[in-house]
Structure 1
Amino acid sequence: MDTNLRFSMLNRDLPAAIDRKGKDPMVAREVQYYQENFSKVETVDDLLDDYRLYTFMMKTMGMEDMAYAKGMVRKALVEGTEDPEALANTLDDGRFKELAETFPFNKDGTIKGKMDWTDENLDEKIVRYTNVPGEEIDDVDRLADYFQQKMPRKDVIFHVQLLADPALYKVVASAFDVPSEIIDGPKEERIAWFEENIDLDELKKPAELKDTIAKYRDNVETRAEENTKDIIERYIQVNFEAEEGEQNEGVRMALNFQRTAGDITSAFDILGSPALYQVVRTVLGMSESMVGTDIDRQAAVINEKFDIEKFQDPEEVEKFVKKFVVLYDGLNGAADVPTVQLFAGNPAAGISESVLTAVNALKFGG
């Protein structure tokens, strides 16, 4: 079945098709394993040493082809993306950056979200008080206990003192839904936001303390559930696309582009993904000879040929993908035809008049 027809058939009820894939016994088993075991991961090596979890992660991120490069994957995970010089930020392959953002770890290899109870900025007496030797205490419970013990004390008078204590900051940032741009922004902006939005005297009152802790617990649980749900949905979708790709690689690329195009904010996002780049290069008629050339030049060509902001419009994405599947069929239906000739509409390229008519009928918005 040709790309255009198969892609159109799937889109008649795509959610149902993906749902059926999620019920596939093999996929369901791996999803269950992830749900039951990822919460036990405390360090990056826990993840890398568990073959099934590691394979699940790499497949979810569309990085099965890089599964052999564990050292490189480890480095990307622990370095994260905050430092411009971090590995994930220096690679042309944007999948590494997305991997580090989806599965965040600290520089010491511990998974982000786990509290470092050895931090010298914590109150040592309360750290000891909230610990029970020989008993493993959940971070959420211990942080809630720490907050309840520390917050009413007289040594928390100013917002800078609250911000300087990692445990207090962690609880309040979650309970009050502090925007990520504030959390990741300059210290002065964090202080200003806290001073404007949080009344320390009110926060110290028993009823408010109890309410803050309840909101903290609820938000941590909700975010964990949402994150797990998003990752599982992506894993099922990727498996679905891979299955389609076994029959027709063009369908796989079209489905992937349809799913991820809304996340494209610049030409460099496209260049960082081989799959996205192939779709864009096909539609925009970019010669294969451009691949591997100066990345800034490639980005400039993409920007010259198409307004990236249009990918925020679902209708424009639909038109773009439709052009791709028609061109993909034309390309693969004509033997030994150079890509550049295909996109130039060269009659000698062997592309049928019906294909060219269909492509030309799909106009991008102004």
Structure 2
Amino acid sequence: MIVGFRALVPTGGLAGWRLLDRTLDSQLARAAASPAIARDVAYMEAHLPETTTAQDLVDDPRLLRIVATAFGLESEVPKKAFLRKVLESDLGDPSSFANRLTDRRYRTMAVALGLSGASGEPSTADPALLKQIGGDYVVTRFESDVGEQNEPLRLALHFRRTIGAIANAASADTSGWFAVMGQPPVREVLQTALGLPDGIGKLDIDRQKALYEAASRKLLGSPSVRALADPAKVDAVITRFVARAGLAEAAPAAGGVALLLGGGSVGAAGIMSILAARAG
């Protein structure tokens, strides 16, 4: 929870998503102006330019928290030795630690900061990077606050914010689905929206890619992640995800209603079919 600020999320499901979408700009402005976030952004802008090594960053707990949060890695902050190893990885070496991690958010952070020492001066004093980290920190803190109230809505916000970089990448046609699989929040949204099974992650990576391609062709009309460069298709995925996530949340309640009905003619299955029809 953001001290002095609370995201407005009065309901979940499609109704909650539409309200959140409609009020997003004003809510983000309020979040950015909240004292706790404003102080953190100012601290980052003052101290990140002084950071020239990975050790410098992990030695400053507050700065590390702010930067890691901006890259969606706030939960990893206690793993200082791990993060230092990520940041010091030679990103030009395919076998380096950061390049071997499945979750690509680590590599994204390492690339942005340039603290490995293998590629010249770090980027930590770059005004464009400071602006990016500050903005992403505000958005990520806001999304986290939304998630404390409704996790599917947080995932939907994150998906819409990040899928464009994957879909528009030069390598989208060949490795786009691998990029999706390497970002857990994005993967969860697409896995749910495309109707893929929970156990898909246990399959061979190429088999996973084939299943994503087949499901994407069916829903989006194209097997390529590049289809999600179209905002209308992104909205279609989010609508489907939020509706399905809402049904999953409603399932226990539907079972309880069926018990109250005493196993009558409606029953849990009937209630779920009604909910599904309403969700489209």
TM-score interval for Structure 1 and Structure 2 normalised by the shorter chain? 0.7 to 0.9
2:205 corresponds to which residue? 295
Aligned runs of 1:315-330 on 2, under 5 Å?
Answer: 315-330=232-247
Task: Give 1:351's aligned amino acid.
Answer: M
Structure 1 counterpart SS, 2:114: coil
- Any idea what the Cα deviations from partners look like across 1:31-79, whole Å, max 9, x if unmatched? 1100111111122111110011111111111112222222221111111
Q: Pick closer, same or farther for the CA change 1:43–1:321 going to 2, 3 Å.
A: same
Determine what percentage of the aligned residue pairs are the same residue: 29
Kindly indicate whether the alpha-carbon contact (under 8 Å) linking 2:14 and 2:242 is maintained by their aligned counterparts in 1. yes
Task: Give 1:98's aligned amino acid.
Answer: T
2:114 corresponds to which residue? 104
Which has the larger Rg? 1
Say yes or no: does 1:355 pair with 2:270: no
1:68 corresponds to which residue? 78
Bigger mean CA deviation after superposition, 80-89 or 349-358: 349-358
Task: Give 2:140's aligned amino acid.
Answer: V
Aligned runs of 1:77-96 on 2, under 5 Å?
Answer: 77-96=87-106
Q: Unaligned 5+ residue runs, structure 1?
A: 115-220, 338-346, 360-366
Kindly indicate whether the alpha-carbon contact (under 8 Å) linking 1:56 and 1:235 is maintained by their aligned counterparts in 2. yes
Q: CA RMSD in A?
A: 2.3
Say yes or no: does 1:267 pair with 2:185: no
Task: Give 1:229's aligned amino acid.
Answer: K
Alpha-carbon deviation of 1:108? Answer: 6.5
Task: Give 1:42's aligned amino acid.
Answer: T
Say yes or no: does 1:310 pair with 2:227: yes
Alpha-carbon deviation of 1:292? Answer: 3.0
1:311 and 1:356 mapped to 2: Cα distance? Answer: 26
Kindly indicate whether the alpha-carbon contact (under 8 Å) linking 2:123 and 2:129 is maintained by their aligned counterparts in 1. no
Alpha-carbon deviation of 1:310? Answer: 1.1
Alpha-carbon deviation of 1:247? Answer: 0.5
Kindly indicate whether the alpha-carbon contact (under 8 Å) linking 1:311 and 1:317 is maintained by their aligned counterparts in 2. yes
1:276 and 1:42 mapped to 2: Cα distance? Answer: 31
Structure 2 counterpart SS, 1:12: helix
- 2:62 is aligned, of 36, 41, 52, to 52
Kindly indicate whether the alpha-carbon contact (under 8 Å) linking 1:283 and 1:320 is maintained by their aligned counterparts in 2. yes
Kindly indicate whether the alpha-carbon contact (under 8 Å) linking 1:60 and 1:235 is maintained by their aligned counterparts in 2. yes
- Any idea what the Cα deviations from partners look like across 1:143-195, whole Å, max 9, x if unmatched? xxxxxxxxxxxxxxxxxxxxxxxxxxxxxxxxxxxxxxxxxxxxxxxxxxxxx
- Any idea what the Cα deviations from partners look like across 1:110-152, whole Å, max 9, x if unmatched? 85259xxxxxxxxxxxxxxxxxxxxxxxxxxxxxxxxxxxxxx
1:109 and 1:84 mapped to 2: Cα distance? Answer: 15
Kindly indicate whether the alpha-carbon contact (under 8 Å) linking 1:334 and 1:349 is maintained by their aligned counterparts in 2. no
- 1:226 is aligned, of 99, 121, 128, to 128
1:349 and 1:295 mapped to 2: Cα distance? Answer: 37
The alignment's TM-score, normalised by the length of structure 1, stands at: 0.62
Q: Unaligned 5+ residue runs, structure 2?
A: 1-10, 167-171, 217-222, 255-267
Kindly indicate whether the alpha-carbon contact (under 8 Å) linking 2:112 and 2:123 is maintained by their aligned counterparts in 1. no
Q: Pick closer, same or farther for the CA change 1:36–1:319 going to 2, 3 Å.
A: same
Structure 2 counterpart SS, 1:335: helix
The alignment's TM-score, normalised by the length of structure 2, stands at: 0.80
Q: Pick closer, same or farther for the CA change 1:113–1:333 going to 2, 3 Å.
A: closer
1:61 and 1:50 mapped to 2: Cα distance? Answer: 17
Task: Give 1:355's aligned amino acid.
Answer: A
Say yes or no: does 1:246 pair with 2:155: no
- Any idea what the Cα deviations from partners look like across 1:68-121, whole Å, max 9, x if unmatched? 22222111111142211121211111111111112111347985259xxxxxxx
Alpha-carbon deviation of 1:250? Answer: 0.7
1:290 and 1:356 mapped to 2: Cα distance? Answer: 27
Q: Pick closer, same or farther for the CA change 1:110–1:329 going to 2, 3 Å.
A: same
1:309 and 1:81 mapped to 2: Cα distance? Answer: 25
- Any idea what the Cα deviations from partners look like across 1:167-226, whole Å, max 9, x if unmatched? xxxxxxxxxxxxxxxxxxxxxxxxxxxxxxxxxxxxxxxxxxxxxxxxxxxxxx9xx222
1:323 and 1:303 mapped to 2: Cα distance? Answer: 17
2:17 corresponds to which residue? 7
Aligned runs of 1:170-209 on 2, under 5 Å?
Answer: none
Alpha-carbon deviation of 1:317? Answer: 0.5
Aligned residues: 242
2:157 corresponds to which residue? 255
1:237 corresponds to which residue? 139
Q: Pick closer, same or farther for the CA change 1:109–1:83 going to 2, 3 Å.
A: closer
Q: Pick closer, same or farther for the CA change 1:352–1:44 going to 2, 3 Å.
A: same
